Amino acid sequence: MNNTQIWYIVKQSAGNCEIISSKETTENNEPSSQERWGPFSSQNEAIARRVGLIRSGKCQPV
């Protein structure tokens, strides 16, 4: 059994971006119409990418 989590950045309707794990995406079945970045191998990598998305104006800070 593979316990490795994959992380994604998902843009919410309010414009901010949330970091979610692959486990959360299968549980929530989020609509594909949302903008999504990833997969990332670690939560730290996803956080760093979210900072870049905020700086580039694609996401709003929380």
Q: What is the pLDDT of residues 32-50, one digit of tens each?
A: 558 999 999 999 999 999 9
Angle at 16 between CA 13 and CA 22, to 5 degrees: 85
Torsion of CA 51, 54, 58, 61, to 10 degrees: 120
Torsion of CA 40, 44, 46, 47, to 10 degrees: 180
Contact status, residue 10 vs residue 35, Cβ threshold 8 Å: yes
Query: CA–CA separation, 10 vs 25, rounded Å?
Result: 10
pTM: 0.80
pLDDT on residue 40: 97
Mean pLDDT of 3-32: 81
pLDDT on residue 46: 97
Is pLDDT above 50 for 1? no
Contact status, residue 60 vs residue 14, Cβ threshold 8 Å: yes
What average pLDDT does the structure give for the chain? Answer: 86
